Amino acid sequence: MTDSFSLVLLAVLGLAIGFVGGLVGLVLGVVRFPLVLGSEISASVAAGTNIGVSILGAFTAAIRHFRQNNIHRRTFLVMASTGAVGGFLGSLITKHVPVNLLLLAIGIIVSYEAYVIFSGLQKKINPSQENKKRNSVPIESLIGFTIGFLGGLVGLVLGSIRMSVMISVLKMDPKVAVGTNLASATVMGHLHC
């Protein structure tokens, strides 16, 4: 898929995905990945390309959230650093994983992300519970590393999983979870490449 029409189509779809992602606070690499996979030579090249595009979207949005004070700095530092290590290790393994297994893992993760997003839409955030579990560096580290490793393996930032865990497990205000997630995705995605 290298002709001019295909490139324009990818650009238009990329713009649309970026716009929708901006509305919901996610880079939507899960939606973009199949398009990139169809235009690249291999699954590992598509994964790297998708991560690169995700970095640009996350960085741009994170700047805005930083200015609005919507980033929990300690959680960002913990999850970004442990997620970057996990992502780096996962990306090292990618080239040794059979393509069919990689695609199966992506399918499972995307299905799980959809479940998490749709089940999370039905739950109300209880403001009185906010900040109760946000002082747990070991939990944040485990979450960051695990999601980073899976993301590095499959070439996705997995922001929808990380953000929903920030809200449901760490009890973060959704605005702060969005900003912290996007800032973390910027660092983690950068080190995946």
pLDDT tens for each residue of 24-64: 778 888 888 888 888 766 777 887 788 788 888 888 888 98
Tell me what pLDDT residue 131 has.
47
Mean pLDDT of the chain: 81
How many C-beta atoms surround the C-beta of residue 5 within 10 A? 8
* Number of independent structural domains in the chain: 1
| Average pLDDT rounded to a whole number, residues 89-110 | 80
pTM over 0.85: no
Residue 192 in contact with residue 86, Cβ under 8 Å? no
Closest of 112, 189, 119, 178 to residue 148, by C-alpha? 189
Q: How confident is the model at residue 2 (pLDDT cuts 50, 70, 90)?
A: low
Query: Residue 73, class by beta-carbon neighbours within 10 Å (0-12 exposed, 13-18 middle, 19+ buried)?
Result: exposed
| Average pLDDT rounded to a whole number, residues 73-86 | 93
Residue 170 tokens read as 């760490």
Inter-axis angle of helices 159-168 and 73-94, to 10 degrees? 140
| Residue 153 structural domain | 4-192
Could you tell me what percent of the chain has a pLDDT over 70? 85
| Average pLDDT rounded to a whole number, residues 84-99 | 86
pLDDT tens for each residue of 166-176: 888 898 998 99
DSSP string, 44-92: HHHHHHHHHHHHHHHHHHHHHHHHTT---HHHHHHHHHHHHHHHHHHHH
Query: Residue 3, class by beta-carbon neighbours within 10 Å (0-12 exposed, 13-18 middle, 19+ buried)?
Result: exposed
